[in-house]
Amino acid sequence: MLDIYLPIAQVNVDIFLLLFLSLAVGVLSGLFGVGGGFLMTPFLIFMGIPPVYAVPNEVNNILATSVSGSLTHWYKNTLDYKMGLMIVSGGVVGTLLGITTFTYFSEIGKISLIISLLYMYLLAIVGTLMLIEGIREKNRQLKKTVLKQKLHEHNWLQGLPLRMRFHKSKLYESALTPILLGLVVGFVASMMGIGGAFLMVPAMIYIVGMPIKLIPGTSLFVTIFISAIVTILHAFNYGSIDLFLVIPLILGSIIGVQLGQKLGQFLDSTELKSLFALLLLSVSIAIGYDSFFRDKNDNVNTETLLKTDLNSLAEFTVNFSNEAPFLYGALAILLAVTLGALTAFARKILSPIVRKLLSDFRNKNTTKKEEIKFPEK
């Protein structure tokens, strides 16, 4: 074990455990195509990090992985920028409402309980739905049936005023639909420290009616802006961004997502999806127990930080956060964007090389097998 002290959050954490959890959540995110915020934030809370710090630092982590994924989809031209900007416009308002709500519950000392309850119900609902879908998918495979769905069904939301054409998605519908979606996503992201993909993706399919191939990239594009806004607001209002926590989170998550995406090419995720659902339900139960049966001190003072036994770098971080919170938040955003972009560029350069090496290896093995001649009886 190697504990490090988080000067902003004022707690000691095991750096190896932190890296392992961020790596594991990153692998799950890449494997199942889901955001890891709704799993990583509870893990941070279980490690003893107060929710007021766990939420914004995980959002900063999500920013990095979103930049990496969004650039990958940009290369493939699978982004609808116009639709994304409409969702972002609503997300800005939703984020401001979420921060206001966050501030209110922080002032009355109930923010830890509220966040824990939100996660308990969220993970229970998502885990149950994923478990049901996993069982249905397995049954369809056993029966060899094909699920037929309509590509797009119109609903009353699309008939609202302010209609506009989204050429990339080939849609003509009300701009209020994506704006309202962004409003909800921004509120949830600022309150819970998640990217909101678990809300955006189903809504983009069944409410907005976007083509499936454009949804992942557009969702990540939206998450970049919402995560950046949440990060800067939390840094400015509360001084709760801790770079000593953010950096290992980003490093573990970025590596884990790449590994998860590669594993997804070789593994059948149908059975794993049910196991993942059981994991979510287990975490939900653990959060419920932690919320109702353990005594907690919810009075986190973000103004007075302990400065004893801090090294020069930690002390500089604390002073920087207190004296220039806006610049400190901007630095955290720049760090996340830079690491995410470098990962995307590295993947673009290395992916063809890795594919060629794997192809040469397979061809070499195939040639060797063909050269083996079995003796005749």
The domains of the chain are located at 3-347
Using CA atoms, how far residue 164 sits from 40, 167, 169, 289, in Å, is: 38, 9, 12, 48
pLDDT in tens, 155-197: 555 556 677 787 777 878 777 888 888 898 889 888 887 777 7
3-state per-residue secondary structure call for 172-212: EEECHHHHHHHHHHHHHHHHHCCCCHHHHHHHHHHHHCCCH
Closest by CA to 343, choosing from 65, 40, 10, is 65
60: amino acid identity, one letter = N
Residue with tokens 């090294």: 311
Beta partners for residue 13, in sequence order: 4
Classified as helix, coil or strand, 39 is helix
Nearest to 279 by CA among 5, 39, 87: 39
DSSP string, 153-175: ---GGGGSSSEEEETTTTEEEET
Query: What pLDDT does residue 300 have?
Result: 44
The residues near 128 (Cβ < 8 Å, ≥ 6 apart) are 277, 281
Residue with tokens 């302010």: 162
Rounded Cα distance, 339 and 327, in Å: 18
Sort residue 226 into left (φ over 0), alpha (ψ -120 to 50) or beta: alpha
Residue 201 contacts residue 219 (beta carbons within 8 Å): yes
- What global pTM score does this model have? 0.78
For residues 218 and 130, what is the distance between their CA atoms, to the nearest angstrom?
23
Please list, in sequence order, all residues whose beta carbon lies within 8 angstroms of the beta carbon of residue 28, skipping any fewer than 6 positions away. Answer: 34, 36, 39, 256, 260, 276
| Blockwise average pLDDT, block size 10, the chain, 377 residues | 83 90 83 71 85 87 85 81 88 90 86 82 79 74 58 56 77 83 88 75 78 82 89 87 90 84 66 72 79 56 46 83 89 90 83 75 65 55
Instruction: Please give the radius of gyration of the chain, using alpha carbons only, rounded to the nearest integer.
Output: 23
Q: Coil, strand or helix: which one is 241?
A: coil
Provide the angle, in degrees to the nearest 10, between the axes of the packed helices 176-192 and 215-238: 50
Q: Are 191 and 102 in contact (CB under 8 A)?
A: yes
Asked if 98 and 245 touch (Cβ cutoff 8 Å), the reply is: no
> What's the pLDDT at 191?
83
Give whole-number Cα distances, 139 to 136, 147, 273, in Å: 5, 11, 13
Q: Is the dihedral of CA 50, 308, 231, 219 positive or negative?
A: negative
* 323: CB partners within 8 A, 6+ apart: none
Contact (Cβ atoms closer than 8 angstroms) between residue 55 and residue 241: no
Q: What is the DSSP letter of 294?
A: S
Is beta strand 3-6 parallel, antiparallel or unpaired with respect to 171-174?
Answer: unpaired
Give me the sign of the Cα torsion angle 188, 213, 265, 125.
positive
Model pLDDT for residues 9-42, shown as the tens digit of each residue: 888 888 899 999 888 888 877 776 666 777 788 8
| Segments of the chain assigned E as strands | 3-6, 11-14, 163-166, 171-174
